[in-house]
Structure 1
Amino acid sequence: MSGLNELNAHEAAQRIRDHEITSEALVQDCLDRIADREQQVHAWQYLDNAAALDQARTRDTTPVRGLLHGVPVGIKDLINTGDMPTCYGSSIYAGHRPASDAECVKRLREAGAVILGKTVTTEFAAFNPALTRNPHNLSRTPGGSSSGSAAAVADGMVPLALGTQTAGSVIRPAAFCGVVGFKPSFDYLSTTGIKPLSGELDTLGVFARNTKDAALVTTCLRPRSSALMDITRKPAPVGLFRGPHWGKVDESSKAMIEKLWGQLGAAKSSVIEQDPMHDFAELSDIQHTIMCADMAKSLAPEFNYHSSHLSEGLRQLIEYGLDLGGEKVLAARARAHSARVKVEKLFGDC
């Protein structure tokens, strides 16, 4: 390896455009890193080295297509790919080949990206842990459900990866693995072609090594008319919300957040601080209610016809969702909507 796998995505894209490096060399270094570490980290569900290198050679011999021309990207195995198996983290779908790419994969290809392979997801992006380990300490979890995407970016296997979030599945593994995880607002990025868990809560997200790379790939996932995300605008408005569970945060984490908060204030960022609103304390339970109710519908075929292939924990979540009364679910959705309106008012232009 020549170390190209350690390049940030925007650096790699620029050097490919300037003919300083080739996409093939970059992809080969990523594959070499995977060969060295995959048996320990278990970040990948599917790889086809020859196909990845073929994509890279094509990028090297054709005009620049977009902002990610020649840059490899990992795709969470919850996201459909027409030329690779998509198993959704379940043996039920072993060898499954979707008819077409998800919208997000289509846009990455249009931007010139090399689709390197499929990263490990937990079972249907729920809570049954996958084999993936935290690359910083193999005895630790990388977090889920986008376990493989976070671990692969953190370990230098790929500069960018896609993930999804229904209940913390982007921001948690990003935090555990020490990379940037961007979970945008609902409907900001298309989820068409992604196996649904909860239509109300599912969100496409990205993993990168820095915020500039996260902005770059997010721009490519937006409609073509979208402008490049500007992360240089100053002062950037920042809000800190010490929610009703702030007291449960361990002291070392609190200290780091407070330190960063002080630095933001010193840098003359537009700082907005809010006291906790205690009626937000119930939102974890509300989220769980909505997720389980939606899961009981979205995974009904798997539950009805392949229940023995589901983990016990997932079966219990689906059964809980089936037992929920309609009034309770409607009340939870209304409460979630009300909370979102309050958050919009709390943070204003943040």
Structure 2
Amino acid sequence: MQSLRDILRRIAAGEITAAGALALSAARIAESEPSIQAFASRPAELVAGAGPLAGIACGVKDIIDTADLPTQMGSVIYEGWRPRSDAAVVMMLKATGATVAGKTHTTAFAASDPAPTRNPHDLSASPGGSSAGSAAGVAAGMIPLAIGTQTGGSVIRPSAYCGVAGIKPSYALLPTVGVKPFSWSLDTLGLMAASADDLGLALATITGRPELDAAAAELKGLRIGVTRQDFAGAPEQAAEAALQRFCEIATGAGAQLVDLESPQALSEAFHAHVPLQGFEATQALAWEYAEHREQIAPKLRAYLDGARSVTPAQYDEARRISRRGRDAARAFFGQVDVVVSYAAPGEAPDTLASTGDARFNRLWTLLGVPCLTIPVMRGPRGLPVGIQVIAGFGADDRVIAVAKALETRVEPIR
């Protein structure tokens, strides 16, 4: 994988120019794209901008508006569609000097129908969804940075499956203006890179918040909560092994581990995600459903058919339960410095027909809290398996700092 920080160091040292760094990314895309299929569209050439991230090639998920490239949302309904303007996050990216290397493949409307993308670690395995192209593009070493979105688990899960670092920041830290909505109460932009260290630098630079590029935390003395999210069902053996591996690393570094039991309000909030997302999805995709129902990808079409049964009263109750969950989360996270849990149920599914299961991600998305995944080991099939670090709302710098400390103690997944 390409390290964003290392590229910028080499540019600053005069070892390579920004244009040269982009040329390297272009060459790697040309080499790997035929087998990985990370990109839905690409510009004719990569041109360096001016700013602190000049020379950084970034993939942009294809539900995010770009004026100079199509935004097709993984759907034939929008084939060749060209927005008139860039999304707010794309403007922020360009303002730093970074270059859009292309639009990365997404599942249809960021839902469940698989994208054509392959997992770089095993071309027969799923890269996860819905930010499939973003995760695979980084994992294959084509680009050092990518933007994804998460409504259930679509940043954390594909990052874990592809063995990259991924962060879903606190809700609305990155603006979703110009991003095709699926569930406006849940939709969150996130970043993917080779490491938590790269994520911190990128997020700090894009948002103008230098505190997010935090120094690695001192694990000794930290209180780290461990939650297995029993309300979400049992994980696969590989996910439990990864969590146990984390516990060994953290204990060896002098951290204090605390087994956390989730209050009833968090369990209820987890289950509220389904009606909340379903009701909003039928509104967000109302035009597509009314005018082009037969052209909607089959899994999403079936989902929308069912979600139409969610009543306004059920939606309102889901919102009330969500609010109670966010209230309970303050005390839950207040017991410890960070919380750690499974990033995904296990290794990537061994079929391209599945994008995986978001059940270990949904609660944190609904709560709007920051979470970050890094790989910690390989599973029985040789695929990466990660853990996710979570903290209370607004504590993005803390999850970055703890993840940076952890990754220095883990053998890199290549």
TM over 0.5: yes
Cα distance in 1, alignment partners of residues 299 and 228 from structure 2: 31
In the TM superposition, residue 215 of structure 1 has moved relative to its aligned partner by 0.7
Given that residues 263 and 328 in structure 2 are in contact (C-alpha distance below 8 angstroms), is that contact kept between their aligned partners in structure 1?
Answer: no
* Counterpart Cα distance in 2 of 1:297 and 1:272: 41
Alignment of 1:138-153 (within 5 A): 138-153=123-138
Q: 1:195 aligns with which of 176, 180, 188?
A: 180
Q: For 1:327-338, what aligned pairs fall within 5 Å after superposition?
A: 327-338=313-324
| Mapped partners of 1:258, 1:120: distance in 2 | 33
**1:304 aligned partner, one-letter code:** A
The aligned residue for residue 213 of structure 2 is 229
2:44 to 49, 66, 77: 49
**Is contact 1:136-1:177 (8 Å) kept?**
yes
CA distance in 1, matches of 2:97, 2:225: 35
CA contact (8 A) 1:244 1:278 kept: no
Question: How far apart are the structure 2 equivalents of 1:277 and 1:266?
Answer: 29
Which residue in 2 is equivalent to 1:9?
A: 4
Alignment-derived partner of residue 312 in structure 1: 298
1:181-233 CA-to-partner distances (Å, cap 9, x unmatched) read: 101121222111111111101000110110011111111332x3654431423
Aligned mates of 1:90, 1:217 — CA distance in 2: 30
Contact 2:226–2:260, Cα closer than 8 Å, also in 1: yes
CA 1:49–1:28 in 2, change beyond 3 Å: closer, same or farther? farther
1:243 and 1:277 in contact (8 A); partners too:
no
SS at match of 1:206: strand
Q: What letter is aligned with 1:46?
A: S
Per-residue displacement from partner, 1:210-261 (whole Å, max 9, x unpaired)?
Answer: 0011111111332x36544314233465332121147611223212212212
CA contact (8 A) 2:20 2:55 kept: no
Q: Which amino acid aligns with 1:313?
A: K
The corresponding residue for 1:3 is: none
Aligned 8 A contact 2:266 2:328 in 1: no
Structure 2 contact 2–143 (Cα < 8 Å) conserved: no
Contact 1:164 1:202 in 2 (8 A): yes
Equivalent residues of 1:244, 1:277 under 8 A apart: no
CA distance in 2 between counterparts of 1:290 and 1:246 reads: 17
SS of the equivalent of 1:291 reads: helix
After alignment, is 268-277 or 297-306 more displaced? 268-277
1:321 pairs with 2:316: no
The residue type paired with residue 326 of structure 1 is P
Aligned match of 1:131 in 103, 108, 116?
A: 116
Unaligned runs of 5+ in 1: 1-5
Please tell me whether the aligned partners of residues 61 and 103 of structure 2 are also in contact (alpha carbons under 8 angstroms).
yes
**Kept in 2: contact 1:44–1:118 (CA 8 A):** yes
Using the TM superposition, name which of 71-80 and 241-250 deviates more: 241-250
Letter in 2 for 1:189: L
Give SS of 1:20's match: coil
Larger relative helix fraction: 1
- 3-state DSSP class of the match of 1:306? helix
Query: How much has 1:278 moved relative to structure 2?
Result: 5.5
Structure 2, unmatched stretches of 5+, are 339-414
Moved more, 27-36 or 289-298: 27-36
Which amino acid in structure 2 is aligned with residue 168 of structure 1?
G
Report whether the alignment pairs 1:214 with 2:199: yes
Q: Which has the higher contact order (CA 8 A, sep 6+)?
A: 2
Q: Distance in 2 between matches of 1:324 and 1:280?
A: 21
What is the aligned partner in structure 1 of residue 245 from structure 2?
Answer: 259
User: Take 1:177 and 1:225, find their aligned partners in 2: how far apart are those partners?
Assistant: 28
Q: 2:56 aligns with which of 71, 84, 107?
A: 71
Q: CA RMSD in A?
A: 1.9
Superimposed CA distance per residue, residues 255-288 of structure 1 (whole angstroms, 9 cap, x where no aligned partner): 2212212321331336443124456445454212
Q: Which residue of 1 aligns with 2:361?
A: none
* Aligned pairs (5 A) from 1:49-128: 49-50=44-45, 52=46, 55-56=47-48, 59=49, 65-66=51-52, 68-128=53-113
1:302 equivalent among 288, 291, 300: 288
Size of the aligned set, in residue pairs, is 334
In 2, distance between residues paired with 1:36 and 1:49? Answer: 16
CA distance in 2, matches of 1:168, 1:7: 24
Amino acid at match of 2:71: T
The 1-side partners of 2:15 and 2:223 are apart by: 37
Q: Which runs of 4+ in 1 moved over 6 A?
A: none
Deviations 1:2-32 (A, max 9, x none): xxxx430011012112321022222222222
Query: Which residue in 1 is equivalent to 2:153?
Result: 168
Please say if 1:31 is aligned against 2:26: yes
Q: Which amino acid is the alignment partner of residue 274 of structure 1?
A: L
CA 1:74–1:177: 2 relative to 1, 3 Å: same
Residues in 1 aligned to 2:318 and 2:19: alpha-carbon distance in whole angstroms: 50
Single out whichever of 115-124 and 98-107 deviates more from structure 2.
98-107
1:178 equivalent to 2:178? Answer no
Secondary structure of 2:308's counterpart equals helix
Identity of aligned residues (%): 36
